[in-house]
Amino acid sequence: MPCPRPLAALAAALVAAAAVPAVAEADGPKARIAQAAPVLPTPDDPGRTSTPGGWRELQWNFLAAEYGIDVEPAWARAAAAGRPGGRGVVVAVLDTGVAYRDHGRFRRSPDLVGTTFAKGWDFVDDDPYPDDHNGHGTHVASTIAERTNNGIAVTGIAYEATIMPVRVLDSRGEGDANVIAKGVRFAARNGADIINLSLEFPGTVRRSEIRGLLRAIRYAHRRGAVLVGASGNEAGKEVTYPARAPEVIAVGATTQHGCLSDFSNEGRGIDVVAPGGGADADLPDDPRCRLDLPPGLDIYQMTFIGRDPSRFGLPSGYEGTSMAVPHVSGVIALILATGVLGPDPTPERIRAHLKATARDLGAPGYDRRYGAGLISANAATASPFQALLTSSG
């Protein structure tokens, strides 16, 4: 299906912007240099303003400055590869459902009109209609694939990815391990490239209590799905399940200041961090953690106003490792779309690439607070040599 005219125009502009020469003449031999990050046309999404491009005032988390993921050059590279916005990549969102259609009291989010949805399932009510009963799942899905350059609200990371809505959490945001396991298997069997798990069990839950879910995770991993999970929101010293499973990329949360969010779990097994918003953690040895400053902004995407599934806006209050996880899922979609790792990279190769291209935070090298560092969409979609230079800044 052809993309809407504004999005097609943006894609064409991004392709042109990405066409930057990679070789410079020197005196004597030719010297190969890293391609400059493309200069991009700014999408016209207005955020809370009436001005095209106003999304930049809210979505610090997508920008190069203020410890965002630097997504704009990645948009250009995906467009240049012929798959703008991660077109063709399927991301399963296992959550409270998604506002993906008009049905009874439920309405499709205005900023998901035009988004492609794969067939999903509601494992809470056991029916084929995974409508969102909470708003959390719509927020998560919107971070991944909210429409971009459509003059509405804000932008999404992989704005042409396909979302597979899988409801495994109830209206309170709670779910049973066996229900979640069914959702994981469903996503893997139905062609999900990425499975987004913006959910956590209490830190007291042990492997022996969720064996069925861990088997499902291993099954999905063997089938080539990349699983991404939340480290947890208890400010604890251990990663919670399911992110603690070795097959899952474990994601912690950072603030607008580049500090660990005060709620984010840390510990052995953290792979990377991504923007989750909120206040800085009290870490006196980390100069980025500024308790003397007001907390940074939350994570903004279009979702319910309150709990009404027919009223949408850009509510505040969304912060958490749940919000960090879809940043990673969206960047992985762009990695797959650009083909920087080849046509069919394994989940472990993708994990290693994310870590290798992350922006180091905290102690030099890997640490238990930030893992390998803050993900960078720019570095992760560049060629290996470009990525080395980009991630070393």
Token output for 231: 């480290």
User: Pick from 245, 318, 345, 392: which is nearest to 59 by CA?
Assistant: 318
Please indicate whether residue 310 is annotated as part of the active site: no
Q: In one letter, which amino acid is 119?
A: K
**109: enclosing H helix or E strand:** none
Mapped onto helix, strand or coil, the DSSP state of residue 172 is coil
**343: exposed, middle or buried (Cβ count in 10 Å: 0-12, 13-18, 19+):** exposed
Residue bearing tokens 């806006």: 313
Please indicate whether residue 142 is annotated as part of the active site: no
Residues 6+ apart with CB under 8 A from 274: 69, 251, 252, 253, 254, 324, 325, 327, 328, 374, 375
CA distances to 5, 52, 155, 327, 337 from 149, in Å: 10, 9, 7, 19, 19
126 within 8 A of 286, measured Cβ to Cβ:
no
Token output for 287: 């100069």
- Rg, Å, the chain Cα set: 20
139 within 8 A of 303, measured Cβ to Cβ:
yes
> In angstroms, rounded to a whole number, what is the distance separating the alpha carbons of residues 217 and 182?
10
Q: List the catalytic residue out of 44, 131, 132, 136.
A: 136
> In angstroms, rounded to a whole number, what is the distance separating the alpha carbons of residues 76 and 340?
13
**2: exposed, middle or buried (Cβ count in 10 Å: 0-12, 13-18, 19+):** exposed
Residues 6+ apart with CB under 8 A from 104: none
DSSP letter assigned to residue 150: S
Q: List the catalytic residue out of 322, 329, 376, 391.
A: 322
User: Pick from 337, 323, 327: which is nearest to 376 by CA?
Assistant: 327
Please indicate whether residue 360 is annotated as part of the active site: no
Q: List the catalytic residue out of 95, 111, 131, 280.
A: 95
The set of catalytic residues is: 95, 136, 322
